Structure 1
């Protein structure tokens, strides 16, 4: 690595760290001003608990979210500075091409991307879980019957289905339970119960006032009973279908959950697919935003650094706005979650290629 590469890479990483360090305290200060009254409502909540269980994970979550954008601003800032000092002109005078000039930026972007990928797939989900638990306990208003689910249909396999009129996640009890087993389109067996309860220590479901129906070739066989313990291929947590669940699972567990849900016939999994694909697309945007920033800031402008920063911040807000729109659209049942999540990177990637080709010619 040449001296110029080390010089640019050092500037790259130090500027990125500086911008991130400046952004996070601002975000924390805004959050504290909004939440301080809610913290004070709980006399048993200590400052150490708030820091440990809330703001440590706040920094992890939002630091990871700000990472590509902080890098974008940092690259524009320090590249504009060395351009205004005519250092880039001196580099080109030494017969270093624009493509070669990008090498330290590529190395720096790779380091940040690898860090962001590891954070997104394995670290942030755990922080989301602790952060959400704290928020639900101390900051959010308790919703009426938030643990009560109604009209549940779940496919356990290619031929097995269950139905519950209602289920309470707190008491782990459900009403009007039905299990059906098919062979093709023909019903072979049906198990019904007025009440079902999950017995965690035995990992079985206890059915009360049950009825078994076997559909035979020329007749039906019906059996009645008061209590029956039986094994079923699902757990109470499988009945939950909320956005927070996706954010709290590591990518390995999330992928397993998506595949299992597909096998069970869950209709729209796009909420989970958007979260899964976003964990890769957002870190990869680091490359795209880095090259856009270099291409915008590498030339000395009449307006100086201010013009470059204004253009960069405008593009940053357009990217964030675009990202939020495609996340909402990608969660719809009729869309392709993968394409929608990667659409901002495709659009801005094309912009990065155009700016690169324009700078490489000069």
Structure 2
């Protein structure tokens, strides 16, 4: 590795670490000011628990969230500095091409991407679980309905749907259950029950006060009963908050859960797929954001660092905005989660290629 590569790589990593270390204390200070009264309400809550269960995981989760922003600002910051000091002009005068100039940036982006991949796939999910448990135990307002989910809908297959008016998560019991089976747009079978309860022993559901209705071509067949043991392709875990559950599983567990759910015939798994694909797309964006930042900041401009930072932060907000839209749309049953999650990277990757080609010609 040449002296130039070591020089730029050192600037890259030190600036990235510095920006990240500036952002995290600010976020923590704001959080402490908002949560201090809630901490003090719990006399059984020790300082050690707050630090180990809450703020250590806070640093992991929000540090991982801030990484793309910190990377983008860091690259713009130090590249604008060396461009302003005419160091980039000296580099090009030494017959070093723009492509060769990018090599230490690529190495730095690879290091950040590797850290991001490791954190997203294995470390952050564990932190999300502990952080979420702390929030539920000490910070969220408790009421008698905290264990209840209302109006739970689930699509089991292309033509099979269930509905539960109220589901008690801890007791694994629901009220006002409905199962419907369609052929095209026509309802062919319906099962209603006052109560539904999960039986752990034989992994089945027990329905009470049920009514079966089979819709034939010329009449309806109706059967009433008190108790009915039945098997379905879903489990109680499929009824809880899908978004939280997906974020708390590491990628191996999440992949297995997706495959098991597919085998059980559950059709809409896009919320899980969005979370799974996002864990890779965000770290890979390190390359795209790095190259865009270098292309924007490697030329000396009127306004210098200030104008480069303004453009960079604007682009960063556009990226985050597109990412959030892609996540929401990707969770829909009719969309391709993989395509939607990678769409912001495709858009900004195209921009990065355009800026690279423009700079490489000069």
Residue 352 of structure 2 is matched in structure 1 by 352
Larger deviation, residues 145-154 vs 326-335 = 145-154
**CA apart distance, 1:84:** 1.4
* Distance in structure 1 (CA, Å) of the matches to 2:153 and 2:319: 39
Q: What is the CA distance between 1:81 and its match in structure 2?
A: 1.1
Name 1:125's counterpart in structure 2. 125
Q: Secondary structure at the match of 1:333?
A: coil
Number of aligned residue pairs: give it. Answer: 358
SS at match of 2:335: coil
Q: Take 1:313 and 1:238, find their aligned partners in 2: how far apart are those partners? A: 39
- Which residue in 1 is equivalent to 2:96? 96
Classify 1:46/1:106 alpha carbon distance in 2 versus 1 (closer, same or farther; 3 Å). same
From the superposition, tell whether residues 176 and 349 of structure 1 become closer, same or farther in structure 2 (CA, over 3 Å).
closer
Give the Å deviation of 1:261.
Answer: 2.9
Check whether the contact 1:116–1:283 (CA below 8 A) recurs between aligned residues.
yes
Deviation at 1:20, TM superposition (A): 0.5
The answer on whether the counterparts of 1:158 and 1:263 sit within 8 Å (CA) in structure 2 is no
| Preserved CA contact (<8 Å) 1:156 1:263 | no
1: distance between equivalents of 2:316 and 2:160?
49
Over 3 Å counting, the alpha-carbon distance change for 1:300 and 1:153 in structure 2 is: closer
For residues 340 and 307 of structure 1, the distance between their equivalents in structure 2, rounded to whole angstroms, comes to 31
* Alpha-carbon distance between aligned partners in 2 of 1:140 and 1:360, rounded to the nearest angstrom: 53
1:120 and 1:61 mapped to 2: Cα distance?
9
Mapping 1:192-207, distance limit 5 Å: 197-198=197-198, 200=200
Whole-Å Cα distance in 2 between the matches of residues 234 and 152 of structure 1? 13
Matches within 5 A, 1:126-165: 126-142=126-142, 144-149=144-149
Aligned to 2:284: 284
- Structure 1: any 5+ residue segments left out of the alignment? 182-189, 213-223
Q: Determine helix, strand or coil for the equivalent of 2:32.
A: helix
Distance change >3 Å, CA 262–CA 83, structure 1 → 2? same
Q: State how far apart, in whole Å, the 2-side matches of 1:280 and 1:242 are.
A: 20
8 Å Cα contact 2:57-2:127 kept in structure 1: yes
Which residue number in structure 2 is paired with residue 116 of structure 1? 116
TM-score under structure 1 normalisation?
0.83
Q: Which residue of 2 aligns with 1:248?
A: 248
Deviation at 1:194, TM superposition (A): 6.7
Q: What is the TM-score normalised by the length of structure 2?
A: 0.83
Listed as ranges, the matches of 1:36-75 within 5 Å are 36-75=36-75
Distance 1:236 1:99, change over 3 A: same
Query: Is the Cα contact below 8 Å between 1:125 and 1:249 reproduced in 2?
Result: yes
Task: Report the counterpart of residue 331 of structure 1 in structure 2.
Answer: 331
Q: Hey, what's the Cα distance between the residues in 2 that align with 1:302 and 1:155?
A: 57
Counterpart CA distance in 1 for 2:309 and 2:209 is 70
Query: Is the 8 Å Cα contact of residues 330 and 341 (structure 2) preserved in structure 1?
Result: yes
1:28 partnered with 2:28: yes
Higher mean C-alpha displacement, 151-160 vs 167-176: 151-160
